[in-house]
Amino acid sequence: MPKYVYSFTEGNKDLKDLLGGKGANLGEMTGLGLPVPPGFTITTEACRFYMHHGYNPEELAGQVTEAIDNLEATFGRKLGGDTEPLLVSVRSGAKFSMPGMMETVLNVGLNDQSVLGLAEFAGDERFAWDSYRRLIQMFGKTVLDIDGELFAGALEAKKKAVGAETDVDLTAQDLKELVEKFKVIVVRQTGAPFPQEPRAQVEAAVVAVFNSWNTDRAKVYRRRERISDELGTAVNVQSMVFGNLGPDSGTGVAFTRDPATGHTGAYGDYLPNAQGEDVVAGIRNTLSLDDMAKIDRASYDQLRQIMSTLENHYRDLCDIEFTVERGKLWMLQTRVGKRTAAAAFRIAVQLVDEGLINMDTALERVTGDQLSNLMFPQFDPSAKKQLLTKAMAASPGAAVGQAVFDSATAVAWAADGRTVILVRRETNPDDLSGMIASAGILTARGGKTSHAAVVARGMGTTCVVGADALDVDPAGRVFRVGGATVAEGELIAIDGSTGEVFLGDVPVVPSAVFQYVDEGLDKALAATGGDGSAAELVMAVHRILGHADAVRRLKVRANADNGEDAARARRMGAQGIGLCRTEHQFLGNRRKLIERLILAHDAGTRAEALEALLPLQRQDFIDLFTEMDGLHTTVRLIDPPLHEFLPDLTQLSVSIAQREARGDSVSETERELLAAVERSHESNPMLGLRGVRLGLTVPGLFALQVRAIAEATAQLIRAGQDPQPEIMVPLVGSYAELDLVRDEAERIIKEVSESEGEILSIPVGCMIELPRAALTADEIARAAEFFSFGTNDLTQTTWGFSRDDVEGGFFGRYMELGIFQVSPFETIDQRGVGQLVSRGVELGRQTRPDIGLGVCGEHGGDPASIHFFNRVGLDYVSCSPFRVPIARLEAGRAAVAVEEGAGTA
């Protein structure tokens, strides 16, 4: 019989696939002997069964009953009993942390009778009725799908009516009356009374947690984090302990290190006389752990000891949820904590220095996306700024944008190209889409463990929380602070590293990490100006990136079309140029020369155009090869279709027609130009006369470029340099095409070699960017000394997509429908396009074992794609100069992952 329920005593941290992260870690803490309230986990397999069938597996109900019986036996109390009732929480817990995205229900088991027994058992009538109103509020919103604002509004109305500033100020009688009001809301909204049977409450809560896996916000979060929709969530049913029993009780969240900076110490939030959701929701501003030490030293000391135990056990930053019930500490959850990019690098090297992990593990603990985040600019400290307030720095960065007050506006304005900052009293999980759309998040309430802070850190979004000086008025579309009123649409700036909030625009300067990757370690350290924290971060990046360079197999080249870009690429660690797009060299004033070449009716006119272009091209390559001296430089021969070098057909036709209508003269040259444009017009130019087809049909075009490359190479060799050019032919679909171009190229190279008196060895290869080329790579390799997979065009031609049209067209809908979790132009489609790359590698090496293999284009700088390219055996990736450090890091991470996989095979 399938086993769907596991006691916490049966779990451990290695069972995350089955028990989810929360359940696995509760089992692990139980096994360590830590004070964990007993409970059980319903597996992800049960959730997947429910998702696929629409009902629970038949074995589940009996196994849950048995688990509840065991809990009741452990405590000697009955679930929802009339005296000394046992209550439970029902919480989600997926394999990967999804903070705030799924549901939780506390105090399950309370009803009109057991609330009286709880009051007598606890000796606190107020506590019992507060717990009951929380259950109805959570259950109503989560399980019965009632608008949560109805409960929140009733709560606010009650506080206003009795003059209570906070929930804690409500009396037992106030809460009794509020419970009755909540029960009326349930009846009006559902047509049925609030369920009184404790077992039925558990069953309904479990189904609600299963259903929460597929809420819109959960789907949006998974798409952003690239988490599979098929995993499902586990459900944890845990005996309740209460932080709202009075001043000697409380609840909190702690981190073993600062998740925002990575600095060591005790960081977290604590609320006396509260339940856990109060901390995470950010509805009350919290106390620090230092404040907790003053209130309850014994519990604080025990918490610090447990924090040390967990960090040493997990060998990483731990995020811990805890409750103190009348002076006794209970551990409710632990997980490896989300952290900012800066914290990730600092913590990784700290743990190495503390002997807990090695450099390979440190490398695995950081990502290319985090390094990219650290390269973003920061506010100029010398700029004039108008400070509005200073609050809690929750997620670092420098964000400037227009203030908006709800998620829908944030999404709409961002879609229009505006940069926005979402301003809220506090965020909740339904704000996720607006948080993703925003450059920054600012809240008036909450602490470092509030929903806004945790989600923003996970996304790498700048965030400031707990700005209690802010009076946020969503209805009025303004916030007030001091004597200032800021309306929706006004520019504000937030500094997630300092917690400062400014009015208006604030200029930015390069970050210390960007200065490091662009100018080197010494200049970056000097630029920190004695800021020890910035210097520490630079050194952490330096150590980890250096280790990545030492262990990686993949080389990293850059895409660069001129000497300036090549110089920057080399400074950033590029090991050559993987793609020089020569068409970019024909823009501006040279466009007319290409136009003359295309329109030439005779050999003489064509020769004149070629003669004018040759010295310009030669100098382009001299500049490029000089900067890349000693490194491979792959030059792609001209690729785009003809129409990109000619006037727009519609504009030219209208211009001539209008002049003819006015009786103005139209020259013969203009008429010839129109005729040529009409001849070259194509319905689908991206699949028309371009690439190798262009070189074979426009006499002298490829020959010009090959000659310029050869002459530039000879000139630099004579000057004592070591140019290493490679000639790459685009859009090849057959061996015959490449063979013809190669024959001509070798003839020209030989001519230049003999005339210049220099030995020239210039490899000729091609791009693999058509499915046919990948599938016949064994034939093409007979004429190619190297392949570079052009995965942008390979994606277009495999999917039948026109990139310029589809990304702004239906891709958004495809994301919503779950067809894509990420654009195939951003991360390679391994199942489709990736199979063609893998086949091309295999066939190419069958014919030519020493063939060079690389990739250029957007995918060459994408972290997930780099791991794929490493696995299929490419020699290098090529990306924009600014992505080179990210590619270096990810190539190192890919090598470590492969090594670990081999070790465990």
Catalytically active residues, by annotation: 451, 856
d(CA 722, CA 740): 28
Looking at residue 11, the DSSP 8-state letter turns out to be -
Degrees, nearest 5: CA angle 865-866-870: 120
CA 112 to chain centre: 46
d(CA 391, CA 495): 10
Q: Are 773 and 752 in contact (CB under 8 A)?
A: no
**CB contact set of 737 (below 8 Å; sequence gap of 6+):** 692, 693, 696, 729
Q: Are 465 and 453 in contact (CB under 8 A)?
A: yes
Find the Cα–Cα–Cα–Cα dihedral 424, 427, 432, 435, rounded to 10°.
40
Q: What is the distance in angstroms between the CA of the first residue and the CA of the last residue of the chain? A: 31
* Residue 239: its H or E element: strand 233-239
Q: Are 491 and 505 in contact (CB under 8 A)?
A: yes
Query: Burial of 637 by CB count in 10 Å (0-12 exposed, 13-18 middle, 19+ buried)?
Result: buried
Q: Which two tokens stand for residue 188?
A: 């009006």
d(CA 615, CA 285): 69
How far apart, in Å, are the Cα atoms of 398 and each of 156, 452, 505, 507?
A: 35, 17, 11, 10
CB atoms < 10 A from the CB of 444, how many?
22
Order of all β-strands in the sheet with 420-424? 386-390, 500-503, 491-495, 398-404, 420-424, 440-443, 462-465, 392-395
**CB contact set of 899 (below 8 Å; sequence gap of 6+):** 360, 551
Q: HSE (CB half, 13 Å, CA atoms) of 95? A: 18
Instruction: Render the burial of 845-860: b for 16+ CB within 10 Å, e for the rest.
Output: beebeebbbbbbbbbb
Q: Are 426 and 407 in contact (CB under 8 A)?
A: no
Q: Which two tokens stand for residue 405?
A: 């007050």
Q: Are 47 and 233 in contact (CB under 8 A)?
A: yes
Q: Are 449 and 269 in contact (CB under 8 A)?
A: yes
The structure tokens 């295999």 sit at: 842
Looking at residue 387, the DSSP 8-state letter turns out to be E
Q: Are 268 and 449 in contact (CB under 8 A)?
A: yes
* Beta strand 420-424 pairing with 398-404: parallel
Degrees, nearest 5: CA angle 833-839-843: 150
Q: Nearest Cα to 317, choosing from 272, 360, 372, 258?
A: 258
Q: Are 860 and 877 in contact (CB under 8 A)?
A: yes
The β-bridge partners of 267 are 255
**CB contact set of 483 (below 8 Å; sequence gap of 6+):** none
Looking at residue 195, the DSSP 8-state letter turns out to be P
Q: Are 323 and 243 in contact (CB under 8 A)?
A: yes
